[in-house]
Amino acid sequence: MYILTPSQTQQQQPRCPVSIDTIKARGKLVVGTSADWPPYEYIEGGKVVGIDIEIAKRIADSLGVGLEVRDMKFSALIEAVKRGDVDVVLADMTITPERETQVLFSIPYQVDTSVVIAKRGAAMRGPEDLKGRAVGVQVGTVQEDWALRTLGNVSKIVRYDKVYPYMVEALRKGDVDAIVVGGVVGRAIVTRFPEFEIVASTGVRYSAVAMPSCAYDLKLQVDRVIYDMLQSGEMERLITSWVEKWLYS
């Protein structure tokens, strides 16, 4: 019988592409996001800003490194973090059982809902009123999953790579009858664009930071940062201030 020595066993196990040591050696935390989801991440003055970017800054500061933000399609984020192209994903990403088989999640930093938005005065007051309608969703999101599961056989599901401004403009022009987005995002949109209203909620979801499934040391650090922000009230203040900033910018 051939027995592997400890050194041979170690050699056969692939190294995790992301760790605190690799981040510190590089001197920066690389964050993946999709900058079309205000107030969590959006473009302002040529830079990606928002709630998630501020959380990323807190994590980078805790590690004593700089921050690099890479903007990409939401649907590409999971694969990017699995490959180690980015260290973490901060994009108001919802924890789901399917995603948990692919990446490691931090503790949640927010509990939210998903909501359906339509033009004010439209004859829609719940998911049942979306039958036979065109419904806009972002590719790769839990909102897309919900729409396909609930309406896939009875409605036209229109997929977009970006929520803002593309889905908002599609609703305004009548290309779709409704859009499905995150609750905080949805409430911000209907406040900024009073011609829209929320017509339904699709349940509770938990937002968290995604990392490679092997990055346990990084998860401990990220969890510590999020826990401290939640306990001190900084997370709530941060979210509130960025919602107001985007609404009145």
Degrees (nearest 5) of the Cα angle 54, 35, 82?
85
pLDDT tens per residue across span 170-202: 999 999 999 999 999 999 999 999 999 999 999
H-run or E-run covering 30? strand 28-33
Mapping DSSP onto H, E and C, the string for 174-225 reads CCCCEEEEEHHHHHHHHHHCCCEEEEEEEEEEEEEEEEECCCHHHHHHHHHH
pLDDT interval class at 8 (50, 70, 90): very low
What pLDDT does residue 10 have?
A: 47
- Tell me, what amino acid is at 206? Y
Q: What percent of the chain has pLDDT over 90?
A: 87
> Within 13 Å, how many C-alpha atoms sit on residue 130's CB side?
32
- All residues at 6 or more sequence positions from 161 whose CB lies less than 8 Å from its CB, including other chains: 36, 73, 74, 75, 138, 139
- Alpha-carbon gap, residue 161 to 151, rounded angstroms: 20
Cβ neighbours around 166 below 10 Å, total? 16
